[in-house]
Amino acid sequence: MQLIDALRSTPTVRHFSPEPVGDNVIFQILDDARFAPSGGNRQAWRVIVVKDPTTRKAVRDAYLDAWHDYVAHLLAGLIPFSPLASDEDRALALSLRSQAEQRSTPDGFPETLDLVPVMLVICADLTVLAATDRDLDRYQIAGGASIYPFVWNILLAARERGLGGVITTVAMRREEAVRRALNIPDTFAVASVVALGHPTTHVTKLSRRSVEAFTTVDTFDGTPFEG
């Protein structure tokens, strides 16, 4: 597949066929993904291929518990876990937690996460991340620049092999439970859970905002940039 085609047509996939994915394919995907850029080329990622059914269920349980919080925010009309949310917003979401649990379905992605063909947990080595925004009085984001290009490369490398997947950060909300299940040291953060497999459907066209909708000239409120 040509790079431009992959960039324009790699979707989020949460529904997989039961067809297994061999370890050799997973290895090849990670072998390609490792060439992602990172701060100082320190390659702060660590990947855990989760195979054990009991461990998978522990990750699923942590994810599902956090997912109910996510849905509660949606029911409250909020952006889930927004860094700009007020204490009142957070309290409102919490009050809807039981309603969120009632929305759970047995065959949903969160409920069946332990059954995905490939489960990868991506960790970030905090000892080597250059978090240049750590002292700013706002939400910190810079450290992820050394991790998520690698995670995205995993999806692109999977797409090249006819696979699909999803990058999800929901489980981070229950990081301590994931840490215990996988014996992750305190010096590492859980950056993502990635599910991979053979898609049950194939998307050929994605919907995204136009360049003019998010790009301006010279200032944030400048004129839209046009080619």
pLDDT tens string 133-164: 999 999 999 999 999 999 999 999 999 999 99
- Does the pLDDT of residue 1 top 80, yes or no? no
Cross-strand pairs, 197? 164
* Beta carbons of 15 and 199 less than 8 angstroms apart: yes
Lowest-confidence region among 40-44, 160-164, 201-205: 201-205
Q: Grade residue 128 by pLDDT with cuts at 50, 70 and 90.
A: very high
Instruction: Supply the pLDDT for residue 84.
Output: 94
Rounded CA-CA distance 70/80 in Å is 5
* Beta carbons of 187 and 39 less than 8 angstroms apart: no
Give residue 120's identity as a one-letter amino acid code: L
Find the helix or strand (DSSP H, E) in which 125 lies: strand 118-125
Per the prediction, the chain carries an average pLDDT of 96
Q: Grade residue 60 by pLDDT with cuts at 50, 70 and 90.
A: very high
* Beta carbons of 155 and 165 less than 8 angstroms apart: yes
Rounded CA-CA distance 195/31 in Å is 17
Instruction: Return the SS3 of 196.
Output: strand
- Does the pLDDT of residue 202 top 90, yes or no? no
* List of domains in the chain: 3-52+113-214 (3.40.109.10)
Q: What value does the mean pLDDT take over residues 163-179?
A: 97
Residues 67-107 pLDDT 10s? 999 999 999 999 999 999 999 999 999 999 999 999 999 99
Instruction: Supply the pLDDT for residue 203.
Output: 81
Residues 12-34 pLDDT 10s? 999 999 999 999 999 999 999 99
Q: What value does the mean pLDDT take over residues 103-112?
A: 95
Instruction: Supply the pLDDT for residue 205.
Output: 83
Rounded CA-CA distance 185/192 in Å is 16
